[in-house]
Amino acid sequence: MEYQNVCLESFGYTLPEIVWSSDDIESRLAPLYERLRLPQGRLELITGISERRFWPEDTLPSGPSVQSGEKAIEVAGIDREEIGALIHAPVCRDHLEPATACAVHHNLGLPQSCMIFDISNACLGLLNGVLQLANMIELGQIKAGIVVGTEGSRQLVETTIEMLNKSETLTRGDIKTAIASLTIGSGSCAILLTHRSISKTQNKLLNGTVRAHTQHHQLCHSGKDESVGGGMQPLMETDSEQLMKEGIATGVATFQDFLAELDWTHDDIQRTFCHQVGSAHRKAMLDSLGLDHERDFATLQWLGNTGSVALPMTMAIGLESGFVQPNENIGMLGIGSGINCVMIAANWQKTLVSGGDTPALDAISAFGQQR
């Protein structure tokens, strides 16, 4: 997919204020650690994740999504009447129906002529939303659109801890499938796209490349869809080692197509932002793609894996910290369970980001620049 008329105009993001360190989680797992004689510090050692963040209990995704969307719209200075589509694209949602996009649309005060809907594709939802809006803009259907999402991880982490402590039969090997669930964090991000004729930034979206290796769809999955609500007790089962192996293979194949479609070499990419899983995955992915670690920005140590908002929120923080300079080419490299892959290229000119209003930002930015 090639684009001539689409700009990534602005970002808005919101970080939760509640912080759980990996040490905090291990303290809550004391019964399991004592029974299996697991060493303290194991979780951070094997994942590279020091902290993750949670929303207050009973927070619905639409709330932070409205905050992030408002930030993206305000920093762009766009007339809301020009926004012709809104997509809500995380895993988490307020209800089975109506679409969570309805609440977000209403509270953002967008026009009634605005097309709204939810999409979901695990950790790639927001990137899929970017491409959907880009197609609509390129076709001349809309002048501007916004994709937004909020992921909440608190129930998953708490349910996983409860399950691990309750079982008397789990072995060290058995708990491997639950480790990924303990890395999950919460966050919210919005991306505003515009036609170049009304863009103030001229951050040109160049290309989108996708690939689906769905023969591996069973490597990471939740239980049956019991959807949302106060009684939801989600659990995930993840074959982390095989998922990383096959995910990287999918990423390598997609990246080859990505470069070929753009007629680029590795040297044409000045900055990258990848899906944030863990330190081992990040190193293996960058090495497999032949990409310079110094050109990649990361937030996983402080935010964990925040699902569909991980890559765009990391990019927003990286942009806000000055990681990208004018006229640099950016690769947005996303991989999600399924296994699906989305890679997006952009040429950057001017940054419009709003969101860094928590004390965590300085530490996150410092980590990203240290890489």
Annotated catalytic residues are 97, 123
Instruction: Give the angle subtended at the CA of 61 by the CAs of 148 and 48, to the nearest 5°.
Output: 80
Q: Which residues of 97-132 are buried (b: 16+ CB within 10 A; e: fewer)?
A: eebbbbbbbeebebeeebbbbbbebbbbbbbbbbbb
Q: Which residues pair with 14 in a beta bridge?
A: 188
Cα dihedral: 62, 68, 71, 73 (round 10): -70
Residue that has been written with the tokens 């012709």 in this structure: 84
Cα dihedral: 160, 163, 164, 170 (round 10): -130
